Amino acid sequence: MLEQIRSFFHGKMHATTENSSGSRQERLALATAALLLEMAHADSEFGSVDKQNILDLLREYFNLSEGDSAQLMVLAEAERQEALDIWQFTNLINQYYGKDEKRDLLEILWRIVFTDGKVGVHEDYLIRKLNNLLNMDHSDMIEAKFKVQQAMNENKSGK
C-alpha cells in the first residue's frame, strides 16, 4: 500500500485519473491525513502528543500498521506543506465520501482539536471552514463536537 501512496504522491493529488479503487482509497487516506495535520498545526503548538494522536487515529480509521501510518503521515505532511490551500483535500473527500463518512471525519477532527483540552481561536475557525468545505450542516459539526466531548468525559470518569 505504501508504494502506491508514494507513487500517487509523486503524481500529485490533483491528478484526475483513477486506475483502481485502491488508488482512490490511498488518495483519500492522504487527503484525510493532511486535514488532520492541518488541524493539529492550527494552534501553532504541534508536539509529540499531537503526532501520536494523529498516528493512532490514522491506524484506527484506515486500519494501518504503525509503520504504514507513520509513512502516510510523512507523505501527508509533505503534501500539506506544498498545497496552496485545503480545498484540494476537501474536494477529493467530497467526491468520494458520503455524509456519514464526512461526519466520522468531523469527529476525528474534533478529537485533534481536543488533544490539548481546549478549542483555540484558529482551531475553531478551521473546523468551521472545513465543515463548510465538506458541505456539511452546522448541526453536523456541533453534533460531532458534542459526541467527542461526551466520549472524552466518559473516558475521564472511567465508564
Domains and CATH numbers, the chain: 2-14+22-157 (1.10.3680.10)
Count Cβ atoms within 10 A of the Cβ of residue 154 and give its class: 0-12 exposed, 13-18 middle, 19 or more buried.
Answer: exposed
Task: Locate all alpha helices (DSSP H) within 63-115, ordered by sequence.
Answer: 66-82, 87-96, 99-113
Predicted local confidence at residue 18, as pLDDT: 45
pLDDT tens digits, 19-76? 445 577 888 999 999 999 999 999 877 888 889 999 999 999 999 999 999 999 999 9
Task: Quote the CA–CA distance of 151 and 137 in Å, as a whole number.
Answer: 22
In Å, what is the CA distance from 107 to each residue of 17, 29, 101? 30, 16, 10
Predicted local confidence at residue 110, as pLDDT: 95
pLDDT at 105 over 70: yes
In Å, what is the CA distance from 95 to each residue of 15, 42, 133, 157? 13, 25, 12, 39
Predicted local confidence at residue 124, as pLDDT: 93
Handedness of CA 120, 121, 127, 131 (dihedral sign): positive
Work out the average pLDDT over 125-153.
95
